Amino acid sequence: MAVESPKKRRTARTTKRSGRHRAVPDPLAAIIGQRIRALRIAAHLGFDAFVEETGLGRGYVSELERGLVVPTIGTLARIAGALDVTLADIVAGDSERERLFSDLRRADAKLVKELRDIVSRSYRP
């Protein structure tokens, strides 16, 4: 009697190529991908130049920007280096606190210290 080998079950999230690539965007990966695309455009890097700068494949970058792959921390670090930003710039959310953090990252050290002093005086227990 022949024993059938179990077939790999495909889900709506995977494509035929591999389990890392999705047919439907992952919500968080889509947000990261949109942010990467926005940062790339803000840096005036065309798609091909970005691919060359990161050393990633064209297909991977395309899927990344569409949220079809979930990048590793190493990949995000390569992307951050190519865009001359930090990992925080790529993964930070869109709350008021995170927007303030983003704005303050571009401020000079003196202004940051003054603001920290104001905040510490305002929120003493």
Buried b or exposed e, range 91-123, using 16+ CB within 10 angstroms: ebeeeeeeeeeeeeeeeeeeeeeeeeeeeeeee
User: In whole numbers, what is the pLDDT of the chain averaged over residues?
Assistant: 82
Res. 20: pLDDT tops 70: no
pLDDT at 9: 44
pLDDT at 13: 43
pLDDT at 1: 52
Closest C-alpha to 60, from 43, 45, 72, 77: 72
Closest C-alpha to 41, from 74, 65, 19: 65
Res. 26: pLDDT tops 90: no
pLDDT at 99: 79
Q: What CATH fold (topology level) applies to the domain 21-91?
A: 434 Repressor (Amino-terminal Domain) (1.10.260)
Mean pLDDT (whole number) for 103-109: 83
Q: How far is CA 68 from CA 29, 34, 96, in A?
A: 7, 11, 28
Three-class SS state of 120: helix
pLDDT (tens digit per residue) in 30-61: 999 999 999 999 999 999 999 999 999 999 99
pTM for this one?
Answer: 0.63
